[in-house]
Structure 1
């Protein structure tokens, strides 16, 4: 008799565990069915401008990356070919070397080679101005990323604050303080802050990474400018 009772209790425990496991599986399935989009859209009205800023931020990052990568391409043989042609007095060939690959450094060197025969100070001044123009072209659009990195988190914070105000306004009208209502409303509104921070971090990272790329290019261009000035001086010293 005791053995039968033990078996019945054992089966009851197994059924309880099985039911709990099935319930957990069902809850997990229901949770998995919730799409990320519907979850994000629970963030309130402010989530819409944040999503718009996200897509615009991604567009600016892709466009600037492709553009900067293209114009900062370095031809490792360019300065050596320019030196060889200038030593032989072939200025036209040196200009052609600068244009064989479209790049910002080629444009800067070409602006200096085109003025060979004029004072060195004038050549340096023109090359510096050309470099400033090329760098300004690279920085075009980066201000948008800086703006987004500041605006997106603020929009998310505004969305959260407005949601909290609505929650407490409802509580004051109904007089019903329910922890489920408060926590549910808060998690929905915190989505707005989280989304704003994510967009802000993406824009902030893109802004500074592009500035690092431009700074590296500026350093390389300065080295090439000094090399070209030295090349121009070489025939004069020889004479």
Structure 2
């Protein structure tokens, strides 16, 4: 493996760096974007229980806010519920936009790696072919081993760029899809809360409809 990397030339260095970056982002995001951690499925039911038992106080709201991103969104709605439906929705949207931004952190970088890695491989290919033609011009076509070295460098960097880019692109799509699904779920839960607090949904029915 080391020999293959060395024969790929200096362009293998940025490609390897890109692969390490993509792997680190992928592992971190898959760990961070666990649906149960971001938006616990029983969280809204817990809020309904507090409301039914008249246990919803500032301490409960504070613990809800610190529990998860969904809890932070619901807490923002509860805090501003007395100001009317529109203000409540605006406060939820403001907090939700911040949470969405946090969930999408590093995804642009991962997408950039997926897009740039093949280009780096292509650049390595061009450099390798330039070396091949330079050798042909200097020594003719009789030195097959020298020509093979340049062609090998070109092929190795191309393959390495694709090996990095394909998994990075797949992981980027999976993670972006996961974020989208979590956002939709959070929006649904927040809307249920708004409807209950403003008389458009019964609390007794809410747990049946909660994700």
Aligned to 2:138: 173
Contact 2:37/2:68 (8 A) holds in 1 = yes
Q: Which stretches in structure 1 are left out of the alignment for 5+ residues? A: 1-35
Query: In the aligned structure 1, how far is the partner of 2:201 from the partner of 2:150?
Result: 78
Rate the CA distance shift 1:150–1:198 in 2: closer, same or farther, 3 A. Answer: same
TM (norm. structure 2) is 0.85
Partner SS for 1:212 = helix
Ranked by relative contact order (alpha carbons within 8 Å, sequence separation 6 or more), the top structure is: 2
> Is 1:110 the counterpart of 2:43 in the alignment?
no
Contact 1:81/1:94 (8 A) holds in 2 = no
> Is 1:229 the counterpart of 2:194 in the alignment?
yes
Partner SS for 1:140 = coil
Query: In the aligned structure 2, how far is the partner of 1:55 from the partner of 1:157?
Result: 19
Query: In the aligned structure 2, how far is the partner of 1:236 from the partner of 1:50?
Result: 55
Pairs within 5 Å for 1:182-201: 182-201=147-166
> Is 1:98 the counterpart of 2:64 in the alignment?
yes
Contact 1:91/1:113 (8 A) holds in 2 = no
Pairs within 5 Å for 1:55-204: 55-69=20-34, 72-92=37-57, 95=61, 98-99=64-65, 102-179=67-144, 181-204=146-169
Partner SS for 1:234 = coil
Please provide the CA RMSD for this pair.
2.5
- Structure number with larger C-alpha Rg: 1
CA shift for structure 1 position 172: 1.2
TM (norm. structure 1) is 0.76
Contact 1:86/1:94 (8 A) holds in 2 = no
Aligned length: 202
CA shift for structure 1 position 211: 0.6
CA shift for structure 1 position 126: 0.5
Moved over 6 A (4+): 235-238
